[in-house]
Structure 1
């Protein structure tokens, strides 16, 4: 099955709870015990991976190629963050997603865009060696 023959990407929401290991202090991206931007970005990428999954054929995966993320509010340890990925554009193998993060009370903590490209797993890995 090719990427063009697969189902379209879907919208996805994932919920995460901020732990000590997710903080800027723990990840070295700051000195405060709040959700680190690199962890938030990883959560956004996880949501886009789940969203693009229906568009993958056998032997395919996706790779992130472009990210734009505005981390606009702090999330303390224990906060639940709902991360969403919504498909906004598809051009062949390229998939673009609007991503956002919000607290369970609706407060927006991040917005952005992630672009992923569908690749043949074996061919991609063969180019590395």
Structure 2
């Protein structure tokens, strides 16, 4: 981790919601999801929040390092229909060893869509893959 990795780093992501990121597309094999309204799925919202947090870290990790999401505590307060622009803001609030805590919020043109906290862990990519290989079977 570089010394520049410190609280205050921030990122913004504007994301136009495509139809493929709505609830019926989340797990197409599930009839439960397929029957729900075509609005941004919470699962995709989480991924968009993670993406925004990762963007805040650009240039602040050493070669061979990445981050993985380890905790999500988000509200999903309002539906966002396809074609709407979701704007996500993330700010790094704490660096505790290899644990990074972000405060996040998102809105569209009509409402606050999301607020909460997301934590990421800095990993050594090669060491992570080596450990992962011990957990997989061929």
Q: Flag whether TM exceeds 0.5 (same fold).
A: yes
Q: What RMSD, in angstroms, separates the aligned Cα atoms of the two structures? A: 1.5
2:59 aligned residue (54, 57, 64): 54
Contact kept? 1:6, 1:54, Cα under 8 Å: no
Is 1:128 aligned to residue 132 of structure 2? Answer: yes
SS in 2 for 1:97: strand
Residue among 35, 38, 43 paired with 2:40 = 35
Q: Give the Cα separation in 2 of the matches to 1:52 and 1:62.
A: 9
Give the distance between the partners of 2:106 and 2:12, measured in 1 at CA. 9
When normalised by structure 1's length, the TM-score is: 0.90
Q: Mean alpha-carbon deviation: is it higher for 90-99 or for 45-54? A: 45-54
Alignment equivalent of 2:3, drawn from 1, 6, 21:
6
Equivalent pair of 1:68/1:112 in contact (CA under 8 Å): yes
Among candidates 108, 114, 123, match of residue 112 of structure 2: 108
Alignment of 1:92-103 (within 5 A): 92-103=97-108
Partner residue, 1:22: 21
Q: Is the 8 A contact 1:6 1:57 kept in 2?
A: no
116-125 or 8-17, larger mean C-alpha shift? 8-17
50-59 or 107-116: bigger deviation: 50-59
More strand by share: 1
What secondary structure is seen at the aligned counterpart in 2 of 1:71? coil
Aligned pairs, how many?
125
The alignment's TM-score, normalised by the length of structure 2, stands at: 0.84
CA radius of gyration, larger in: 2
